[in-house]
Amino acid sequence: MKKRGFWLITVLMTVALLGVFVMQLYYIRESYKLKSQLFDEQVNQTLTSVANKVQRRNVADHLTRKDAENKLKQLQDSRQRALDIKDLRQQYIQGAELRQAERENEIENYLNQQDSIIRVSYRAPDVISEKEYSSLTSKNGDKLDLQMDAIVDLKSLILRGYSMRTKPFSAPPKAFEFKSMQSLPDTLRYLVFDPRDGSPGFANVPKIPNDLEKKFKREDDIAKKQLEIKIAALGKDTFTYTRLSVVEDVSKELQETNIPIYKRINFDSLGNLIKGELQAHNINLEPSYRVSLAKKDSTIFMTASNVKGEFLPENTYKIPLFGNDIFRDPGMLFVSFPDKNSAIVSNLSATLASSVGLLLVLVFIFSYTLYAILKQKKISEMKTDFINNMTHEFKTPVATIMIASEALKDPEVTEDKNRLKRLASIIYDENVRLGSHIERVLSIARLEKGELKMEIEEVDMNDLIVIVLDSMGLQLEKKNAIININTEARNATVLGDELHLSNVIYNLIDNANKYSVETPEITITTRNTQSRLIIEIADKGIGMTKDQTKRIFDQFYRVPTGNLHDVKGFGLGLNYVQDIIKQSNGTIKVSSEKDKGTTFEISLPLSN
């Protein structure tokens, strides 16, 4: 039943550990799937953002280019208009200069004509200045009484039929030139004499008559109007365009089907855009990417470091760059992460570490529990063997004492003094034997509880070994044991309890004697090393395996004896030996080989 219970507990613990292990694997797998899904979502969001920005940048580039073209056209048109206006104004100035020259001739002809008429119509006309005119003009309206010579035009005399006593005078053909007319006043004043009575008077001639002035003004207005009409025909001062018109133009350009995709993408900025968006979404992996046509497998651009690389389906993500295009190829952006799995696993490092740590703790607990169970099972088995051995060891002397006691009841036995003495001796020996067993068990119990009191004193181990051998003489002789004593230690004095140290030697010699198949051969050696005493007890008995040598100092453990069926004991002797040696500040080691013998080596500090 106990064995079945042990295996049931072991199976249950194993199943529980496997369950926990499976749960950990499931948790890690689900965590990996969750991280992978999260990574996929982040990459897809990144690619969507990249595609949107590529489209917006494409439109923005078109708008910028169109705006630049319009501004350049505006500047060119403005410059051309300015040149045209300058030419028109130059033509206008040239026309004004030409008209001015013509007007000067007309005015000059007019003034000379008027001068001729005055000279013909009046006697001795003379041009006077405004100052002279003012001085000659009567303020009260009286006529002037002047003495002057009269000059009469011959032609006028003939025409008018005047008879003159004076000498005829012919006027110069041209009295005025335009250069001299620049200094003339607006009205020319002539001092004239009436040809009939010779009375003086004044003749006024405007420098520019009203009809000519109106004519000149009308010509200037016409020329200026013509200039304004020509300037207006050139257009307004600036080349005007609205943002809506630019957007409409760009929209028309974007719908053109003959523009290849490589002209719509700035590949220099595409890589930086992808990396920037990945970092914005907390992805620090170095991507590989390429741009291909959507309608046929034709790569347009690929990162130089991955020309020979493969875009594996499980690590590659794709998205159309111009998904809204209907008439043109939208193009496809492929982004691959060769280190995707390692990145996800690195993100799971904390989870994996905690899971592995928990699993190791569980394995340790399971192992320790299993070890404790096995140890307890062995201890239980050894205790059972100990109880059986102890029962047997106690039962034998008790049975012997009982038989001897019953024999003492027989009158015939009591009459025979030799038999009576022999029975009394048997009862005594068995009683001593029984007491020895009891004392050994009690010593071990006290030793475990720390209640064993040791009387520390100087002990000569060479002498103690001889004393123990003498006390064991009968049982050694019973098996014809060969004892070899090599007490070479010059200093064999140690500090310890003589009784317990003698028990240590006794137990080791007794084991060497009991665990020998044939005639026991026991060698006891003592020697000094620096400040320690070394005691070796070697035999040529059945020996032990390595596993057995590791356990011989365990409590209740007994080495299997094979064909030796008369070996008695509780499995407490070597445990007791080890505890005594430790309390004496010493060490004990064992070396053994199966079927060749065993050697115990005790090291104790010297008393000095």
Read off the pLDDT of residues 311-359 as tens digits, 9 standing for 90 and up. 777 778 888 877 776 667 777 788 877 777 776 777 666 777 777 787 7
Contacts 24+ apart (CB under 8 A), 439-446: 440/570, 440/572, 440/576, 441/390, 441/570, 441/572, 443/576, 444/555, 444/572, 444/575, 444/576
pLDDT value at 443 more than 70: no
Mean pLDDT value of segment 390-399:
65
- For residue 589, what is the enclosing H or E element? strand 587-593
CA distance 268 to 107: 77
Is pLDDT of 156 > 50?
A: no
Angstrom CA distances, 120 to 123, 133, 195, 199, stand at 8, 21, 10, 16
More confident call, 37 vs 158: 37
Distances (CA, A) of 272 to 176, 267, 340, 530: 87, 9, 20, 77
pLDDT value of residue 431: 79
H or E element that contains 570: none
Q: Which tens digit of pLDDT belongs to each residue from 501-548?
A: 888 888 888 888 888 888 899 999 999 988 899 999 999 888 888 888
Confidence (pLDDT) at 65: 78
Mean residue pLDDT of the chain comes to 76
Whether the per-residue pLDDT at 600 is higher than 90: the answer is yes
Residues whose CB falls within 8 Å of the CB of residue 43, separated by 6 or more in sequence, listed in order: 278, 281, 283, 317, 335, 337
Instruction: Tell me the C-alpha distance between 396 and 406, whole Å.
Output: 15
pLDDT of residue 587: 93
Helix, strand, or coil (residue 224):
helix
- Would you say how long the chain is, in residues? 608
Residue with tokens 């200093």: 491
d(CA 578, CA 503): 11
141 CB-side CA count, 13 A: 0
Instruction: Report yes or no: 198 and 150 within 8 Å, Cβ to Cβ.
Output: yes
DSSP 606: B
Rounded CA gap, 392 and 259, in Å?
108
Most confident of 433-442, 470-479, 527-536: 527-536
Instruction: Sort 336 into a burial class: Cβ within 10 Å, 0-12 / 13-18 / 19+.
Output: buried
Q: Lowest mean pLDDT: which of 83-97, 187-201, 263-277, 560-574?
A: 560-574
Q: What is the pLDDT of residues 71-94, one digit of tens each?
A: 888 888 888 888 888 898 899 899
pLDDT score recorded for residue 398: 76
| pLDDT for residue 599 | 93
- The contacts found for 324-330 with CB under 8 angstroms, 24 or more apart, are 324/55, 327/255, 327/257, 328/256, 328/257, 328/259, 328/261, 329/261, 329/293, 329/294, 329/295, 330/294
* Confidence check: pLDDT of 305 > 60: no
- The segment with the largest mean pLDDT, out of 1-15, 34-48, 529-543, is 529-543
pLDDT at 564 over 60: no
Mean pLDDT of 224-231: 88
Closest CA to 548 of 590, 582, 506: 590
Query: Tell me, what's the pLDDT at 382?
Result: 62
pLDDT (mean) for 137-160:
44
Give the pLDDT confidence of 230-256 residue by residue, as tens digits: 888 877 655 555 655 556 665 666 566
161/608: higher pLDDT: 608
For residue 524, the model assigns a pLDDT of 93
Backbone phi and psi for residue 514, each to the nearest 5 degrees, phi listed first: -75, -35
Tens digit of each residue's pLDDT (9 = 90 or more) over 359-379: 788 788 878 877 877 777 776
Local confidence band at 150 (pLDDT 50, 70, 90 cut-offs): very low
Is pLDDT at 102 greater than 80 in this prediction? Answer: yes
What percentage of the chain reaches a pLDDT higher than 90?
Answer: 8
Over 50: is that where the pLDDT of 456 sits? yes
Name beta bridge partners: 126. 191
Q: Which residue has the higher pLDDT, 459 or 290?
A: 459
pLDDT at 489 over 50: yes
Q: What integer is the mean pLDDT of 441-454?
A: 62
Does residue 160 register a pLDDT over 50?
A: no
Sequence-distant (6+) residues with CB within 8 A of 111 are 175, 176, 181, 188, 205, 207
491 compared with 138, residue with greater pLDDT: 491
> Residue 147's pLDDT band (boundaries 50, 70, 90)?
very low
